[in-house]
């Protein structure tokens, strides 16, 4: 099975709306009246200090703009790295675990896929589940592992992402995704975090074979060395969601 990153990217972009949130055009401030006409205000006129008026209007304008952020725009912002739209969306009440209706990919997964660590942090701090699964049971850590995104991977691991989790489609692990893309730095980080180099997918292939088949000898050698160390040691069974598995059977 081919798990090249550009194929994953095509799948992500095909299922995520490219519509972006349109920014409201700023209205021009009223033209001040000539000095001779405005020097003496009418007796019943209200004098409003410009500073006070501005301070009251700005939050209202920001709240209105935030309320107009759609779910599609929020997901698109996560994928493209638009942190300001994510911030406004969260303030407007959009859920940090928001997912696409068809593919189940969360904003966290999309941000992780392109290595937007700042947005990953923002969503996790707001309550996003780091181990949430999409329609094919893949997680944010799997998506982050396809790129050279060491910081995003480290953050997810530090905040509870399961390093040996497998999808219930091909039984690929985060390590396999990283190996197939030749992401040696990410592979090392995953191994240091306890990734199992001996785990195999539904075809009986392990992460070392993934790396070799995709032409990444350095990555393959790193995993091979880890396999040698792991042999003879008791292995923990990779966690799987039994309910998800039964549902697909």
Residue 30 pLDDT? 33
- Give the pLDDT mean for 155-169: 96
> Is 172 within 8 Å of 34 (Cβ atoms)?
no
> Is 198 within 8 Å of 209 (Cβ atoms)?
no
Kindly tell me the number of DSSP H helices and DSSP E strands found in the chain: 14, 0
- Reported as a pLDDT band with limits 50, 70 and 90, residue 49 is very low
Q: At what angle do helices 184-192 and 150-158 cross, to 10 degrees?
A: 20
Bridge partner residues of 63 (DSSP): none
> What's the distance, CA 117 to chain centroid?
8
Report the distance separating Cα 223 and Cα 197, nearest Å: 6
Domains of the chain, start order: 5-13+61-230+239-248 (1.25.40.20)
Question: 169-202 burial, b if ≥16 CB within 10 A, otherwise e?
Answer: ebbbbbbbbbbbbbbbebbbbbbebebbbebebe
pLDDT in tens, 91-123: 999 999 999 999 999 999 999 999 999 999 999
pLDDT in tens, 164-189: 999 988 999 999 999 999 999 999 99
Rounded to two decimals, the pTM is 0.72
- Give, in degrees to the nearest 5, the angle at Cα 221 between 219 and 225: 120
């Amino acid at each position: 099975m081919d798990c090249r990153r550009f194929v994953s990217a095509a799948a992500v972009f095909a299922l995520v709306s490219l519509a972006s949130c349109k920014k409201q055009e700023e209205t021009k401030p009223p033209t001040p009246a000539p000095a001779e006409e405005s020097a003496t205000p009418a007796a019943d006129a209200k004098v409003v200090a410009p500073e006070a008026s501005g301070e009251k209007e700005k939050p209202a304008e920001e709240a209105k703009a935030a309320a107009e952020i759609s779910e599609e725009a929020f997901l698109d912002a996560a994928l493209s790295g638009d942190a300001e739209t994510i911030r406004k969306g969260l303030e407007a009440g959009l859920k940090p675990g928001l997912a696409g209706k068809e593919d189940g990919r969360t904003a966290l997964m999309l941000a992780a896929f392109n290595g937007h660590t700042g947005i990953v942090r923002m969503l996790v701090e707001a309550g996003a589940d780091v181990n949430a699964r999409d329609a094919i049971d893949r997680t944010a850590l799997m998506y982050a592992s396809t790129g050279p995104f060491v910081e995003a991977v480290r953050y997810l691991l530090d905040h509870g992402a399961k390093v040996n989790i497998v999808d219930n489609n091909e039984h690929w692990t985060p390590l396999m995704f990283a190996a197939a893309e030749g992401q040696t730095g990410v592979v090392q980080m995953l191994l240091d975090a306890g990734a199992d180099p001996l785990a195999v997918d539904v075809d009986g292939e392990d992460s070392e074979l993934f790396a070799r088949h995709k032409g990444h000898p350095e990555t393959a050698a790193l995993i091979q060395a880890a396999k040698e160390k792991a042999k003879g040691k008791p292995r923990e069974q990779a966690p799987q969601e039994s309910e998800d598995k039964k549902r697909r059977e």
